[in-house]
Amino acid sequence: MAGRPRAVVTGLGVKTPCGTDPEQMWTLLLAGRSVARRVTGFDPSGLPVDFGCEVPPFDLDCYLTAKEDRRADRATRLGVSAAQDAVVDAGGFDAAPERRAVVVGTTGGPGPASAARRAGGPPAPATLPNAAAAALAIRHDVRGASLCVATVGASGGHAVGEALRLVREGAADVVLAGGTDAPLGPAALRAYHDLGVLSGRTGDPGRASRPFDATRDGFVLGEGAAFVVVESAEHAARRGARVYAELAGFGRTTDAYHATAPEPDGEGVARAVAAALHDARLTTRDVVHVSAHACSTPAGDLAEARALAAVFGPGGVPVSAPKGAMGHLMGAAGAVEAVLAVLAVRDGLAPPTANLVDLDPRCEIDAVTAVPRKTGDGAVVTVSSGFGGHNAALVLHPAP
């Protein structure tokens, strides 16, 4: 439809291993260094992998009361905090309650949280996948849609994309969308190790996550949260909001190939990117930068590189991979990368990929390494993928 509403991003909030506010995170990412370390939240002795990417300490008292803290698990704590920052950054959640919505991506639910509950942790409702979405709806008086998306590593990307759909279809004037996850724990580290997807560089965790590098051997597990405030351009203009970028396109596909392995040629990822560009009414010539999912697994990075080469041509667009610096934040990853894409659009910069020293020759991409690269004005595409073949792509564009 020619007259469809435009959606813009007016607020950002993060709690990530690279920083607990967007500017701190952006600065560390531009520096191109990994923050992976031996975990400190529990004793990892005896585990096959003892490192990860943890969110640094911050003052939770600024975000939750003592009662709220007791009733929340770590994923909800991180999500509520990041979302509150996004709302404040946007200048408030200024819409009628029935015109507000919230969408949260996560892989949360019973598992490590259940073990915590048996040990005196949060009550049962706090361990359900929708816990963060429910908490945010209550806190921000959301009487419209309140949704939880659980597509593993694509969850955060899908959540932000669903925010675009809610604005486009006129179901909401303003949407609080993002992802939160806190999978770091003994059970998860052991399970992902047994699955063969974690890096085994126990002696050198800072160099373990190596997206697209010829020596990559798996991802580094992380935790974190990121949220954006998405609203119709008309609503943002009416209230005089500061606009970071336009959320212009969303594509989602499924590989329908394997429970954990990606489709080898990346065909599903390529279709998601192409669909997002079509949705944004843009072409590949409008794209100045791709923020890749690339989590440092041998098969996943290669499949994604093939997908990007198929869409943009070999070496056709600068590509960055944030997970080299902060690891894989699972359900939060796509939302964090949406925030990073907004900042990349704002500053006209593509961040370097940490630890990418020797590009896999089979990955025919123009990888950004060592230092940030100036891209100028144009669209930034983000890619997210999850076990089971879930794919999401977003297009962020300079503000209208």
For 134-177, the DSSP string reads: HHHHHHTT--S-EEEE--GGGHHHHHHHHHHHHHHTTS-SEEEE
pLDDT in tens, 243-278: 999 999 999 999 999 999 999 999 999 999 999 999
pLDDT for residue 147: 97
pLDDT for residue 342: 98
pLDDT for residue 36: 98
Mean pLDDT, rounded, for 312-336 = 98
Domains and CATH numbers, the chain: 8-238 (3.40.47.10), 250-398 (3.40.47.10)
* Element holding 85 (H helix, E strand): helix 74-89
Looking at this protein, which amino acid is placed at residue 121? G
pLDDT for residue 144: 97
3-state secondary structure of 265: coil
**pLDDT at residue 367 above 50?**
yes
Strands 7-15 and 224-232: antiparallel
Pull the structure tokens for residue 261. 């392995």
Mean pLDDT, rounded, for 107-127 = 54
On whether the CB atoms of residues 287 and 249 are closer than 8 A, the answer is no
3-state secondary structure of 61: helix
**pLDDT at residue 110 above 90?**
no
- For residues 369 and 240, give the distance between their C-alpha atoms in angstroms, rounded to a whole number: 38
Per DSSP, 316 falls in state: -
Binned at pLDDT 50, 70 and 90, residue 94 comes out as: confident
**pLDDT at residue 111 above 80?**
no
pLDDT for residue 269: 98
- Share the mean pLDDT of the chain: 94
pLDDT for residue 183: 94
pLDDT for residue 334: 98
- For residues 335 and 314, give the distance between their C-alpha atoms in angstroms, rounded to a whole number: 27
Q: Could you write out the three-class secondary structure of 326-394?
A: HCECHHHHHHHHHHHHHHHHHHCEECCCCCCCCECCCCCCEECCCCCEECCCCEEEEEEEECCCEEEEE
Per DSSP, 57 falls in state: P
Name the residue with higher pLDDT: 119 or 10.
10
Mean pLDDT, rounded, for 95-117 = 74
Looking at this protein, which amino acid is placed at residue 382? T
**pLDDT at residue 117 above 70?**
no
* Element holding 67 (H helix, E strand): helix 66-70
Residue 150 CA to chain centroid, in angstroms? 13
The residue count for the chain: 400
**What percent of the chain stands above pLDDT 70?**
95
**What percent of the chain stands above pLDDT 90?**
92
Binned at pLDDT 50, 70 and 90, residue 123 comes out as: low
pLDDT in tens, 344-363: 999 999 999 999 999 999 99
Residue 324 CA to chain centroid, in angstroms? 14
**pLDDT at residue 121 above 80?**
no
3-state secondary structure of 110: coil
**pLDDT at residue 219 above 90?**
yes
Mean pLDDT, rounded, for 26-50 = 97
Binned at pLDDT 50, 70 and 90, residue 377 comes out as: very high
Q: Which of 371, 386, 367, 34 is nearest to 214 (CA)?
A: 367
Q: pTM of the full predicted structure?
A: 0.95
Mean pLDDT, rounded, for 180-192 = 95
**pLDDT at residue 27 above 80?**
yes
pLDDT for residue 115: 42
Q: How many CA atoms lie within 13 A of 45 on its CB side?
A: 1
Binned at pLDDT 50, 70 and 90, residue 1 comes out as: very low
Phi first, then psi: give them for residue 398, nearest 5 degrees.
Answer: -50, 145
